[in-house]
């Protein structure tokens, strides 16, 4: 069977896929069906933070598969309870709702924010202020919360009740929060929007505005959470605590799991029957997620993220001096973007041909999000590869 031809014929045509069929992964390397190896600087888009097929995760997964995969949320299970304890002990939150993806975690956050005000005597407050260039998911509510036209196109009428302001502009945000606003929702660092870092004090000012105006603050940490930026949660860099926070991507290192974390005060609006998910927090995925978090924090992996990220950024900054096509390099931990002054697609493809997987967001921004276990040698290899690609391109 030719995987590509068969897939192109029978799978919904929603992805512009790279011409690669991947069959195996180990650590930071994946292999295609021709046996070619690629160093994975994308990690399933910030998902496989501990790399592919980590032996301890394989062990946890198979052990739990032999024990109990799934029961309804009508029953208690130990892995789910333990994961909730771990997450609340290591964060601002008191309670967790488990879902299966980032979009679903955000759905839960949006529903909770609205319900909170219904329960607390302000039913007129239902609007959410979100950011331009944000990304919150592909369900109807989360695409309605997403500040990118290309994500919303074709789905009118989208869900009512979302207002958009530019990221990093506190004045505009202040004007946008009105008497009907229930929450401000944002990514502490915008991922799909092009690795956009908040300006100093911006998030603290957002927190202050929310407190003054009595609305909830939701951080979408689906991409930035679980160690990606060098802290367990990106909000820790900025000394700002949200009322609600969402996780997904790296939480299961590739198993589908999402989570919405909330303070006791906010979470109180979720009562029996208010929200639910058949698969959310199944013992199989929560057992693996708990092991992911333990590995990340107990094996010193998290401690090395800032240093590795600084090294990759410094090496990219060296490349910038040599290749003016790179305009700037930015990021936090191992979520890194390189702004180009030309479209990045051909560079991504040329890197792929040389055995390195990266991707491009917002057309001109190369994004790097390798497994957090990436080595210096692997970083050096990528830099050499990009250097070569840009040298060839400049000669043409
Ligand atoms: C990927 C992403 C989502 C959507 O997650 P899915 O699991 O694809 O639904 C939401 N928010 C952010 C910030 C993301 O990066």
Per-residue pLDDT reduced to its tens digit, 35-88: 999 999 999 999 999 999 999 999 999 999 999 999 999 999 999 999 999 999
Average pLDDT (362-382) is 98
Please tell me the predicted confidence (pLDDT) of residue 2.
Answer: 86
102 lines ligand 1 (CB under 6 A): yes
The rounded percent of the chain whose pLDDT value lies above 90 is 97
Contact in structure between 209 and 173 (CB atoms under 8 Å): yes
Average pLDDT (332-346) is 97
Cα–Cα distance, 141 to 112 (Å, whole number): 13
Our mutation pick for probing the ligand 1 site, out of 99, 136, 255, counting the most ligand atoms within 8 A of Cβ, is 136
192 lines ligand 1 (CB under 6 A): yes
> Which among 92, 97, 135, 233 is annotated as catalytic?
135
HSE-up (13 A, CA, CB side) for residue 279: 11
Q: Which of 161, 199, 200, 153 is nearest to 180 (CA)?
A: 161
Ligand 1 atom showing the smallest separation from residue 249 Cα: 7
In the reported structure, the alpha carbon of residue 35 is separated from the centroid of ligand 1 by a whole-number distance in angstroms of 31
Please tell me the predicted confidence (pLDDT) of residue 396.
Answer: 47
- Beta strand pairing call for 365-368 and 37-40: unpaired
Contact in structure between 148 and 362 (CB atoms under 8 Å): no
Whether the predicted pLDDT of 148 surpasses 60? yes
Cα–Cα distance, 67 to 273 (Å, whole number): 29
- Beta strand pairing call for 95-99 and 258-262: antiparallel
Average pLDDT (272-276) is 98
Cα–Cα distance, 135 to 148 (Å, whole number): 7
Contact in structure between 54 and 25 (CB atoms under 8 Å): no
103 lines ligand 1 (CB under 6 A): yes
Average pLDDT, the chain: 97
Whether the predicted pLDDT of 304 surpasses 90? yes
Residue 168 contacts by C-beta under 8 Å, 6 or more apart in sequence? 196, 198, 199, 202
Please list the residues that pair with 129 across neighbouring strands: 163, 184
Average pLDDT (180-204) is 97
Average pLDDT (125-153) is 98
Ligand 1 atom showing the smallest separation from residue 105 Cα: 9
State whether residue 198 is helix, strand or coil. Answer: coil
Whether the predicted pLDDT of 305 surpasses 70? yes
Whether the predicted pLDDT of 150 surpasses 60? yes
How many residues are recorded in the chain?
Answer: 396
Residue 122 contacts by C-beta under 8 Å, 6 or more apart in sequence? 182
Q: What is this structure's pTM?
A: 0.97
Contact in structure between 233 and 224 (CB atoms under 8 Å): yes
Q: DSSP labels for 306-322?
A: HHHHHHHHHHHHHHHHH
Binned at pLDDT 50, 70 and 90, residue 394 comes out as low
248 lines ligand 1 (CB under 6 A): yes
Q: Tell me: the pLDDT tens digits for 351-366? A: 999 999 999 999 999 9
Ligand 1 atom showing the smallest separation from residue 103 Cα: 9
Cα–Cα distance, 287 to 281 (Å, whole number): 9
Average pLDDT (207-228) is 98
> Which among 249, 308, 332, 364 is annotated as catalytic?
249
Ligand 1 atom showing the smallest separation from residue 192 Cα: 15
Please tell me the predicted confidence (pLDDT) of residue 1.
Answer: 75
In the reported structure, the alpha carbon of residue 192 is separated from the centroid of ligand 1 by a whole-number distance in angstroms of 9
**Residue located nearest, by CA, to atom 11 of ligand 1:** 136
Cα–Cα distance, 125 to 123 (Å, whole number): 5
228 lines ligand 1 (CB under 6 A): no
Average pLDDT (12-37) is 96
Domains and CATH numbers, the chain: 3-53+302-393 (3.90.1150.10), 68-298 (3.40.640.10)
Whether the predicted pLDDT of 393 surpasses 80? no
Verify whether residue 249 is a known catalytic residue: yes
191 lines ligand 1 (CB under 6 A): yes
């Amino acid at each position: 069977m030719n995987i590509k031809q068969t897939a192109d014929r029978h799978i919904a045509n929603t992805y512009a896929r790279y011409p690669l069929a991947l069959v195996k992964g180990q650590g930071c390397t994946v292999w295609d069906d021709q046996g070619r190896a690629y160093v994975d600087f994308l990690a399933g888009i910030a998902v496989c933070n501990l790399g592919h097929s980590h032996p301890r995760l394989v062990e946890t997964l198979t052990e739990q598969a032999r024990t109990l995969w799934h029961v309804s949320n009508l029953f208690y299970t130990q892995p789910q309870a333990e994961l909730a304890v771990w997450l609340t002990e290591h964060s601002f939150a008191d309670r967790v709702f488990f879902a299966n993806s980032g979009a679903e975690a955000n759905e839960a956050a949006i529903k909770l924010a609205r319900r909170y005000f219904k329960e607390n005597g302000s039913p007129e407050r239902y609007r959410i202020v979100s950011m331009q260039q944000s990304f919150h998911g592909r369900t109807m509510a989360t695409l309605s919360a997403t500040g990118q036209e290309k994500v919303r196109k074709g789905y009118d009428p989208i869900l009512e009740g979302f207002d958009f302001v530019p990221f990093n502009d506190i004045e505009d945000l202040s004007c946008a929060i009105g008497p009907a606003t229930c929450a401000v929702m944002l990514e502490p660092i915008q991922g799909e929007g092009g690795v956009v870092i908040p300006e100093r004090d911006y998030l603290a000012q957002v927190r202050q505005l929310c407190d003054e105006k009595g609305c909830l603050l939701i951080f979408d940490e689906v991409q930035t959470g679980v160690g990606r930026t060098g802290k367990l949660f990106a909000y820790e860099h900025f000394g700002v605590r949200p009322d609600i926070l969402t996780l997904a991507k790296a939480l299961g290192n590739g198993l589908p799991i999402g989570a919405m974390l909330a303070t006791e005060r906010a979470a109180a609006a979720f009562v029996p029957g208010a929200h639910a998910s058949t698969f959310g927090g199944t013992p199989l995925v929560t057992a693996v997620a708990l092991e992911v978090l333990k590995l990340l924090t107990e094996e010193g992996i998290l401690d090395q993220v800032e240093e590795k990220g600084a090294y990759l950024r410094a090496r990219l900054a060296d490349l910038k001096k040599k290749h003016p096509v790179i305009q700037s390099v930015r990021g936090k931990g191992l979520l890194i973007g390189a702004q180009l002054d030309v479209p990045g697609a051909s560079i991504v493809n040329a890197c792929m041909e040389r055995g390195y997987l990266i991707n491009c967001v917002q057309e001109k921004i190369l994004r790097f999000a390798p497994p957090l276990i990436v080595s210096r040698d692997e970083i050096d290899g990528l830099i050499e590869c990009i250097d070569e690609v840009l040298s060839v391109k400049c000669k043409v």
